[in-house]
Every structure is written in structure tokens, then in C-alpha cells.
Structure 1
Amino acid sequence: MAKKKNELWEWVKALVVAVVLAAVIRYFFFAPIVVDGLSMAPTLHDQDRMIVNKFSYTVGEPKRFDIIVFHAPENKDYIKRVIGLPGDTIEYKDDVLYVNGEAYEEPYLDKLKESTLDGPLTEPFTLTEKIGQATVPEGELFVMGDNRRYSKDSRHIGSVPIEEVLGKTSIIYWPIEDIGLVK
């Protein structure tokens, strides 16, 4: 009888440790998120399931073109791409991104640009026109969705404070046909 009680106690302890460990990993390191909408198409699709790496910016800084998850003003989490870092000037002209006066290629937009025949994918703008400042403020990021015509992003909500960023995401785990890394 004592042996059965001891074995049951060992199973209970193992289960408690597993639950606590899973909670710690989810809260501090990785969390699932579901893509809601078409703002990141064709890179991400509505209802794609992804893993958010919450630890990535604890040890590093956001980089241009990272796909991040952040708390948006509407009490909702958004998934967008980092376009501007603190201190950057951002401008779109003739469907080309200029950062600090230098043209940047955005290969993740090539498919959309090919299929868009009725004008530019990204309407021309300057940072001053969108956020009222010439540069991205310190401690903030300028983000945009890949589906530029249908994305509510920094052009509408302003720059994103880095402390509102949950983490970086680059792994799709569902649906099966989309499993993999995204760039």
C-alpha cells in the first residue's frame, strides 16, 4: 500500500513540475499566436498559427524587417514588420522604401507588386506626414504590414514603443502546408 502511495505521489510531483515548467516557458520565453486578418499577406495568412519568441529582445535588439508581435492601442496584439528603427528617417517614393535616404529592397513584397497593376502597392509618404516627426523616436519602432493597402500599422497608429513589443515571430506551426520559417 505504501508503495502505491509513493508512486502516486511521484506522479503528482512530476505533473506539477511539468505544468509549472510549461507555464514559465510560455510566460517568459515562447507563446502561440494566431494571425488575424490579411495585413501580412502573402507572407502570413489569416489563421496561421505562429510561435512568438518573447526572449529574443531580452538579449538583443529588434532589427529592420523582423516580424514582431506587439500590443496595439486597440487592446489587441498586432503582427507587423519592422521598417524603421529609432533615429531612422523613412520615406516611400515610387513604391520604393528609403531609410535614411538609402533605397532598400523588400523581396517579401515582390509577389504582391507583380499582381498589383492599378498603382503602387505602397502609397508615397514621409515619416513627418505619418507621425509628425522626421525620425522614428528613441525607444520606438515604425512597423508596417506586408499587405500595404490593407494594413493598419504605424501609418495609422503611429510608432510603436519597444516596451509594447511581445517578441519576434518567424515560425509557423499550423496549418501543416505552411509549417516553416518566414522572413
Structure 2
Amino acid sequence: MQIEKNKSKIFENNKNQSSNFKEHFKDFLSFALETIKAIVISLVIIIPIRYFLIQPFYVKGASMEPTFNNHDYLIVNEIEYRFSSPKRGDIIVFRYPGDKREYFIKRIIGLPNERVKIENNKVFIYNNKFPKGVEINEKYLNEKDIKKNADTTLNGNEYFVLGDNRNNSFDSRFFGTVSKDLIIGKVWLRGWPFNNVKIFKEEMYNLPK
């Protein structure tokens, strides 16, 4: 009888262990499914944001100083220009017209159908509103000694871009205008360095009414 009792206990223990294993497996399976669900939902949200709404870029070089420095980490808004046109003063990331594998960052100075003239360290805009030309006041510049002059008339989908570090920038004075289809997006946020985080709003120029 003693042996039968021990066998019964062993059988009961095996049943309990089997039941516990099933419960743990169900818990694990439930956890795994929830984890997979969370990953899928995250990817569904993140991938469109990453590839269609915003995109990160690192600044390389000094052509946009003092606004940006080398290795600044920027977030670029890719969707805004699908619903509106680029504005004067917008800082944009675009594909270099000479090699579309390269990305440049510059500031828009001239808009479609305008004439941009740079002389005597001043930038002048000619358009329907200002047929005789008007100087734009660029308060974001540290230095206004512009060594490279220019005189360019833009077509209907072209933009004239300049670096804020005018004497250390390869821009429209050298490679010409940038067509809208080459523009990736508008710089929205500087995320690095942390002590210099900034959201970039529309640049306002003191142009006469």
C-alpha cells in the first residue's frame, strides 16, 4: 500500500507540473503576442514618419555658421512643401544639382520668377512688387562682407540659396539655382547638442510694404 500511495503522489505531482507548464506557456505566448503587436504598431507608425514626414540629418562643414555648426543634428520636415511653397528665409535640405547623391543645407533667398543680385556686400531682390529692387535685411548673419557677387534670374520652379557663412559656402552663386523637385524638406528642429535645441520658425524680413 505504501508503494501505491507514493505512485499516486508522483502522478498528482506530474499533473500539477503539467498544469503549471501549460499556464506558464500560455502566459509566455500572450506576452509574446502583445510584444509582437506593439512592435508591429510601432513600425506602422514610425516607418511612415521616418520616410514620409520627417528625416534626420547631420550638419557637415561650416557653411551655415553661425546658425548651425558642424555635427549639429537636425530634424527635417518633409511634408510641409507638399501643401505649401518654400518661403524666403527657409533653411532647406536638398539634393545637390551636380550630384543628386549629395545633400546640401542652405537658406532660401530668391523665390521663383525673381531676380537676385549680390553686390557691395548687399543682397537685392527684384520682383513684381519691387521692380526696382529691394535690399533684404539678414539679421542672422555674423559677417556681411560678401566676396562673391551674383546676378541671377529664376524660372518658375527655381530657388536661389545661400549659406549663412557667405564667404565659406558653396551655394547658388557657384552651382546655380535649385529646382523644387530637388528639395527634401525644411529644417524644423535642432536636436543636438542638447544645450542648443531649437525649433526653427519662419524668418521675417523687414521688407517695405
**What is the TM-score with the length of structure 1 in the denominator?**
0.87
Structure with max Cα Rg: 2
* Secondary structure of residue in 1 paired with 2:76: strand
- Check conservation: 2:111, 2:158, Cα contact below 8 A: yes
Q: Does 1:82 align with 2:108?
A: yes
- Check conservation: 2:149, 2:173, Cα contact below 8 A: no
User: In structure 2, what residue type is equivalent to 1:158?
Assistant: G
Residue of structure 2 in register with 1:116 after alignment: none
Tell me the CA shift for residue 17 of structure 1.
1.6
Tell me the CA shift for residue 122 of structure 1.
4.6
Aligned-residue RMSD, C-alpha: 1.4
User: In structure 2, what residue type is equivalent to 1:174?
Assistant: W
CA deviation string 1:41-91 (max 9, x = no partner): 111101100000001101111000100000112321100000111100100
Tell me the CA shift for residue 21 of structure 1.
1.5
Count of paired positions: 169
Unaligned 5+ segments in structure 2 are 1-24, 127-132, 204-209
Q: Does 1:141 align with 2:173?
A: no
Give % identity: 35
| Runs of 4 or more above 3 Å deviation | none
Structure 2 CA distance, aligned partners of 1:112 and 1:179? 23
Residue of structure 2 in register with 1:124 after alignment: 149
Cα distance 1:123–1:105, how it changes in 2: closer, same or farther (>3 A)?
same
**1:1-183, aligned counterparts within 5 Å?**
1-72=25-96, 73-74=98-99, 75-100=101-126, 101-109=133-141, 111-113=142-144, 120-127=145-152, 135-182=153-200
Structure 2 CA distance, aligned partners of 1:154 and 1:38? 16
- Check conservation: 1:42, 1:112, Cα contact below 8 A: no
Relative contact order, higher structure (CA 8 A, sep 6+): 1
**What is the TM-score with the length of structure 2 in the denominator?**
0.76
- Check conservation: 2:148, 2:173, Cα contact below 8 A: no
* Secondary structure of residue in 2 paired with 1:61: coil
Unaligned 5+ segments in structure 1 are 114-119, 128-134
Structure 2 CA distance, aligned partners of 1:155 and 1:93? 12
User: In structure 2, what residue type is equivalent to 1:85?
Assistant: L
Tell me the CA shift for residue 139 of structure 1.
1.1
